[in-house]
Amino acid sequence: MKGSPFEFATATRIIFGRGTLRQAGPAVSELGKRALVVTGKTSERAAPLLDLLQQAGLRLTSFSIQSEPTVAEIRAGAEAARDCDVVIGFGGGSALDAAKAIAPIATNSGEPLDYLEVVGKGGKLEAPPLPFLAIPTTSGTGAEVTRNAVLDSTEHGVKASLRGAQLLARVAVVDPDLTLHLPPAVTARSGLDALTQLIEAYVSCRANRMTDLFCQDGIPRAARALGQAFKDGRDVKAREDMSWASLLSGLALSNAGLGVVHGFAAPLGGTLHAAHGAICAAILPHGMHGNLRALRQRSGDEGSKQTLERYRQVAVWLTSNAAARAEDGIQQVLQLCGELKIQSLNSLGLSRDQIPEMVRKAAQASSMKANPIVLSEEELTQVLIESL
């Protein structure tokens, strides 16, 4: 599995480091003169970027989304982008995903559901998207280098992805200084999303030698830095480490896939309307436990043995203990979730009678396909019960 041929794709250009926001103006100017700038609820935090773009002589149109992007917002954003040359996403994963989806819908016929997977028609994009530039202000999703955009289809009560290599950013500008403003709760849930992505990509059935490199660096780095960034948001070293770990998580997941935690995150996100990172954080230790339990029960084949060893290695990185067992990794994640004040799924609004529907929808989710082992309905149910 790990030594097999593989494909790797990512953003055309990645600019990383403190103060790199200053390079956004020249980078955008190379792509066009009229830019749609997609932000979260308010564009106030984007003021420094807007100033830089205006100084570069660019004509700007602003477009904000209220929360995680909906299909309706992408329709509206695509209309706003019709006269633009480039789309810029500035903000957390939601703003980046919105910009990433707007860029192709603006140049293709039809509407988002024609191209959305699972609940849409899953059609192929025919025309190239507008150039897309990503500037993250959180350290979690790695959306600046992923090839999918997660949208909330409210009419279907689920989140699904617009997916394809054409969605990759032309330029990703990752400036850790942009994360210094993050409140502790956002730091916690976005950081645990990054850690989840690194762990799931490492144990994925699609993992390869290149994605392994990102996970080997990212998992121990996030395990060391996340608690410190939560306690002291102005700790520049911790913020830089988390921005790097988040970037690595995006590079890994985009090429290796994810697993059970993100398989559940799609339907739960559409039902609970809770932040994606909060949902992933609530499930992570229990998803790890569910996979380990299933792997041990079916450990006769070589693939299961290799994945069990990978979980043991994850535990070593999480605990900084060379003698750690796979289960020690779960305990370390549980302890970290406690320190970061992570809520359970029950606290986020999930009731026990909703579990069967969530299990049914999760089994069909794209992310579930890369889980290292196929989990039964009973095993999936147990993961959610433990996450309540």
Range of the domain at 214: 183-387
Q: Do 227 and 334 have their domain in common?
A: yes
In a domain, residue 213? The reply is yes
Torsion region of 273: left, alpha or beta (phi above 0 gives left; psi -120 to 50 gives alpha): left
In a domain, residue 35? The reply is yes
In a domain, residue 354? The reply is yes
Q: Do 143 and 266 have their domain in common?
A: no
Q: Do 292 and 366 have their domain in common?
A: yes
Tell me the backbone φ, ψ of residue 153, rounded to 5 degrees: -95, 95
In a domain, residue 68? The reply is yes
Among the candidates 132, 155, 178, a domain finishes at: 178
User: pLDDT of 339-350, one tens digit each?
Assistant: 999 999 999 999
Q: Do 118 and 235 have their domain in common?
A: no
Beta-strand relationship, 86-91 and 59-64 = unpaired
In a domain, residue 52? The reply is yes
Q: Do 119 and 193 have their domain in common?
A: no
Please give the pLDDT value at position 54: 95
User: pLDDT of 168-213, one tens digit each?
Assistant: 999 999 999 999 999 999 999 999 999 999 999 999 999 999 999 9
User: pLDDT of 1-20, one tens digit each?
Assistant: 556 788 888 889 999 999 99
Q: Do 271 and 341 have their domain in common?
A: yes
In a domain, residue 8? The reply is no
What's 28's domain CATH number? 3.40.50.1970
Among the candidates 130, 145, 178, a domain finishes at: 178
Please give the pLDDT value at position 302: 78
Residues of the chain scoring pLDDT < 50 = none
For the full predicted model, state whether its pTM sits above 0.75: yes
Please give the pLDDT value at position 42: 78
Q: Do 287 and 231 have their domain in common?
A: yes
